[in-house]
Structure 1
Amino acid sequence: MNKLINKITAFLNFLLAVCLSLMIIFVFGNVVLRYAFDSGITWSEEVSRFLFIWSILIGSILALKDNEHLGVDSLIKKLSITGKKIVYVISNLMILATMVLVFIGCWKLTILNVDQSAPATGMPYAYIYAVGCLMCACMVLIVFARLYRVLAGKMEEREFIMTTDSDELVQQNETDNDNHEEGAKKS
């Protein structure tokens, strides 16, 4: 299961990198063409806007997976383990409810905009909202996996805090590097 999750994460990271790279190329190329050659690519602005929206939605999936969304955890850290579990389940149920509502809205907008095309490229606006549906579906799967782990008792206490401080990331990376070096020495 972890291999599948890692492959999906790698694919989403690749998509995100492609979106950002193309966006930079199109915008920079258009700026150079306008100032140096007094011309431009008509569709580059529109495609860049689509890519920007897609990169935000794809990045949101990855941020949820890695607990990198903004949050305040000062109260959660002071609760008992039972309190942390309760708040964790409630917050994940709220995320689930929100994603269901966003999915319904994106689905309706996708259907509504199938015939509406962007002026410069002719791409249907439905492409924007369809990626919103994909984002919601992926986030719902992440939340279901989290809720399963809680109910099955497979989560550690530190995992109930849904935010990650930058100091915690540094310590985790150092621990991972130390564990990797120890594993290499044993081999």
Structure 2
Amino acid sequence: MRNIGNAITRSLSYLIALFLALMAIFVFGNVILRYFFHSGWTWAEEMSRILFIWLIFLGSILAFKDNEHLGVDTLVVKLSPRGRKILYVINCFVILGTMALTLHGSWYLTLLNVDQSTPAIGIPYAYVYSSGVVVSIGMGFIVAMNLYMLLSGKLNENDLVMTTDSEEKVAEIEEIAQRTAGEKQ
């Protein structure tokens, strides 16, 4: 299962890098064409916008997997390990509910815009809105796996703090966790 996850992560990283490279080529090429030749690609700006949307949504899946989204862990680090687990489970269900709403809304927008096309390229807007479907399924799967790992005992105490900080902050959190564990014994 871990190998599949690593393959998906690697594939998403390559896809994001490809989208970023294509965006740079399209925008830079369009700037050169406009500046030197007073013409340009009519489709480049639109295609770059679509690639940027997909890049953001795919990148958010990778950031979510690595707990790199913004978060406030002030309360979590002060809780006991049992309190952290309870809060983690509540947090997982809130995120799953949010992803279900995002999936529903994105799916509805995707179906609604199948017949609507972008002006310059002519591709259906459904391809743009389907990025929300992909991100909600991806993040929902990550949350479900994290919840399964917690309930099966495969998640350690440090993984219950869902934000990633600087090395100093991580050392401080580990010290608090050790102190808390020492006081319990």
Corresponding residue for residue 85 of structure 1: 85
How big is each residue's C-alpha offset from its partner over 1:73-96, in whole Å with a ceiling of 9 and x where there is no partner?
A: 121111100110011111111110
Counterpart Cα distance in 2 of 1:105 and 1:166: 36
Q: Which residue of 1 aligns with 2:139?
A: 139
The normalised TM-score by structure 1 is 0.88
Structure 1 match to 2:105: 105
Could you say which residue in structure 2 is the equivalent of 1:68? 68
After TM superposition, the runs of 4+ consecutive aligned structure 1 residues lying more than 3 A away are 168-171
User: What is the letter of the counterpart of residue 158 of structure 1?
Assistant: N
Question: Structure 1 pair 168/135, CA: closer, same or farther in 2 (3 Å)?
Answer: farther
Q: Deviations over 1:37-70 (max 9, x none)?
A: 1000000000000000000000011011000000
What is the SS of the residue equivalent to 2:39?
coil
C-alpha displacement of 1:154: 1.3
Aligned pairs for 1:1-187 (under 5 A) are: 1-167=1-167
Which amino acid in 2 is paired with 1:139? M
Helix, strand or coil for the counterpart of 1:75? helix
C-alpha root-mean-square deviation of aligned residues, in Å? 1.4
- Aligned-pair CA distance for 1:168: 6.3
The 1:168–1:58 alpha-carbon spacing in structure 2 relative to 1, beyond 3 Å, is farther
- Deviation at 1:166? 2.7
Residue identity in the other structure for 1:135: V
Take 1:144 and 1:164, find their aligned partners in 2: how far apart are those partners? 20
CA distance in 2, matches of 1:169, 1:126: 42
- d(CA) in 2 for partners of 1:24, 1:53: 14
Task: State TM-score, norm by structure 2.
Answer: 0.89
- The residue identity in structure 2 corresponding to 1:82 is R
| Structure 1 counterpart SS, 2:23 | helix
Q: How much has 1:142 moved relative to structure 2?
A: 0.5
Q: Distance in 2 between matches of 1:31 and 1:170?
A: 44
Distance in 2, Cα, partners of 1:61 & 1:5: 12
Q: Which residue of 2 aligns with 1:182?
A: none
Offset, 1:138 = 1.0
Total equivalences in the alignment: 171
- Residue 30 to residue 110, structure 1, CA distance change in 2 (3 Å): same
Structure 2 letter corresponding to 1:13: S
Identity of aligned residues (%): 57
